[in-house]
Every structure is written in structure tokens, then in C-alpha cells.
């Protein structure tokens, strides 16, 4: 009987109700300010380490941490600090941008997946498969927008290519080899990051339920004890 009750409670818990959206799946990560701070530090650290790991291939977790930040943190500004701080810290070990406008475009293209993450947090899903498809679609959209925005800015703000249709085409053609691994990297990093956060949320749920179980048992036994005393 206890096993049945525990199973029913677990099935109704937000961390297992993935059809209610990623906001419910990752809800336990927002349980306390300390938990949010730990998640913030973990995502920033992942972004810095992953970006410094092999920047030449563009297989980085930046889109993943931005999407995850948007899905976890309810405030967009707080969520946006995750990819931006990771970008600034990792830039300390990489080459600087050629101009301030180019840096602004890179920052905007890096942070914009936070908006998609917020949509994932609020959007109901139809099951685990649908939820993961939505996340991976966000990852692909993130890498595509980053590629288009940064290369368009490079063509416009530098003198490397003529400011013409031919120059724009040449710029994107030259950038294609750098884009080759970016979508695959974004897909892999995003799948691993969201799966890890969901597992952490379930672990926190399990700990919370174990702490509450003795209190629930005591609450249920009190009326029975009073009834026996009356009898």
C-alpha cells in the first residue's frame, strides 16, 4: 500500500509531469535562492569551459546554457546574464572582436536563445518526446540565427568583402566550413544539458518527498489515534 501511494504521488509530481512543460519539469531548481545560484554558477562554468575547450570547431555549449537559463530562471534579465557572463569570461582567453558593433551583435546572438528558453518554460508539451523535440528545435534555431547574424555583421562592419550581393554571398560561403559542426554541437550540448537539469530536478524532488513523508504519516495517524482514544 505504501509503495502504491508513493508511486501515485511521484506520478503527480511536477518533475515527472513533462506534459505540463519544461517549467514544471525543472520546477524544483527554482525551489530556493541557493539552488538557483548553484544552477547559475553551473551553467556559466559549463559555458566557459565548453567554449574554451575547442573554439575553432564552434562546438560549444553556449546555445545550450542560454536555452537552459531561459527555461529555469523566470526573469529574462537574470537568465540573460548566464550566456553573457560566460561569453565575457571565456573571451579573456580568446581573440577580441574587431569592433564594438561586432561585439554587440555577438552578444545579442549569444543571448537571444534565452527568449526561446522562456517559451519552453511556459509552453505545455505533449509528452517526453515532444518536449525534447521542442528543445532540440530551439538549439537548431539558435545556431542558425547566430550564423546568419554574426556573418551578416562581419560583412557589414568590416572591409573584408565588398558591400554588394556578391560580397555577401562570398562572406557566407567562406563561413560555411565554420558552421559545419555548430548545429551538431548545439544539439548534443542541449540534449545533455536539459537531461542533466531534469535529472537534478528529479533528485531534488525525491529528497523533498522523503523529508515530507514522515510528516504525512504522522498527520494521517493522528486522526486514527484520536478515534481510538475516543472509542
More confident residue, 49 or 17: 49
Task: Report d(CA 42, CA 67) in Å as an integer.
Answer: 14
The predicted-structure confidence for 148-172, as pLDDT tens digits, reads as follows: 999 999 999 999 999 999 999 999 9
Q: Compute the distance between CA of residue 66 and CA of residue 50 in angstroms, rounded to an integer.
A: 13
Mean confidence (pLDDT) of the chain: 84
* Contact by Cβ (8 Å): 46, 66: no
Task: Please give the pLDDT value at position 215.
Answer: 53
The predicted-structure confidence for 6-47, as pLDDT tens digits, reads as follows: 333 334 444 334 445 687 888 888 888 999 999 999 999 999
Please say whether the beta carbons of 178 and 60 come within 8 A.
Answer: no
Q: How far is CA 98 from the centre of its chain?
A: 29
Q: In sequence order, which residues have a C-beta less than 8 Å from that of residue 67 and are 6 or more positions away?
A: 113, 114, 116, 117, 120, 135, 138, 139, 142, 190, 193, 194
Per-residue model confidence (pLDDT) at position 212: 66
Computed from CA positions of residues 172, 176, 179, 184, in that sequence, does the dihedral angle turn out positive or negative?
A: positive
**Nearest CA among 71, 80, 74, 78 for reference residue 21:** 71
- Name the residue among 55, 182, 177 with its Cα closest to residue 113: 182
| pTM tops 0.85, yes or no | no
% the chain with pLDDT above 70: 81
Predicted confidence (pLDDT) per residue in 62-104, tens digit: 999 999 999 999 999 999 999 999 999 999 988 888 799 999 9
Q: Which of 124-128, 152-156, 160-164, 225-229 has the lowest mean pLDDT?
A: 225-229
CB distance 13 to 205 below 8 Å: yes
C-alpha angle 183/186/189, rounded to 5°?
A: 150
Give the pLDDT score at 114.
97
Q: Report the C-alpha gap between 171 and 37 in whole angstroms.
A: 41
Three-class SS state of 120? helix
**Which pLDDT score, from 0 to 100, does residue 10 have?**
39
List Cα–Cα distances, 169 to 99, 155, 158, 161, 174, in angstroms. 22, 10, 15, 9, 9
Q: How confident is the model at residue 138 (pLDDT cuts 50, 70, 90)?
A: very high
**Which residues, at least 6 apart from 176, have a Cβ–Cβ distance to it below 8 Å?**
none
Query: In the chain, count of helices (H) and strands (E)?
Result: 10, 0
Amino acid at each position: 500500500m505504501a509503495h502504491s501511494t508513493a508511486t501515485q504521488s511521484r506520478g503527480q509530481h511536477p518533475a515527472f509531469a513533462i506534459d505540463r512543460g519544461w517549467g514544471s519539469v525543472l520546477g524544483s531548481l527554482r525551489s530556493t535562492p541557493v539552488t538557483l545560484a548553484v544552477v547559475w554558477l553551473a551553467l556559466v562554468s559549463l559555458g566557459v569551459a565548453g567554449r574554451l575547450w575547442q573554439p575553432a570547431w564552434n562546438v560549444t555549449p553556449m546555445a545550450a546554457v542560454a536555452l537552459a537559463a531561459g527555461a529555469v530562471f523566470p526573469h529574462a534579465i537574470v537568465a540573460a546574464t548566464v550566456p553573457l557572463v560566460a561569453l565575457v569570461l571565456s573571451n579573456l582567453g580568446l581573440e577580441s572582436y574587431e569592433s564594438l558593433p561586432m561585439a554587440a551583435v555577438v552578444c545579442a546572438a549569444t543571448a537571444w536563445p534565452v527568449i526561446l528558453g522562456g517559451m519552453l518554460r511556459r509552453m505545455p508539451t505533449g509528452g517526453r518526446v515532444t518536449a525534447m523535440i521542442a528543445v532540440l528545435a530551439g538549439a537548431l534555431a539558435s545556431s542558425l540565427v547566430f550564423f546568419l547574424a554574426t556573418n551578416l555583421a562581419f560583412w557589414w562592419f568590416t572591409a573584408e568583402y565588398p558591400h554588394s550581393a556578391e560580397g555577401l554571398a562570398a562572406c557566407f560561403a567562406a563561413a560555411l566550413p565554420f558552421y559545419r559542426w555548430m548545429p551538431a554541437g548545439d544539439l548534443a550540448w542541449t540534449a545533455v544539458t536539459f537531461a542533466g537539469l531534469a535529472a537534478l530536478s528529479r533528485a531534488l524532488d525525491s529528497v523533498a518527498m522523503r523529508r515530507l513523508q514522515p510528516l504525512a504519516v504522522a498527520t494521517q495517524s493522528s486522526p486514527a489515534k484520536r478515534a481510538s482514544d475516543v472509542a
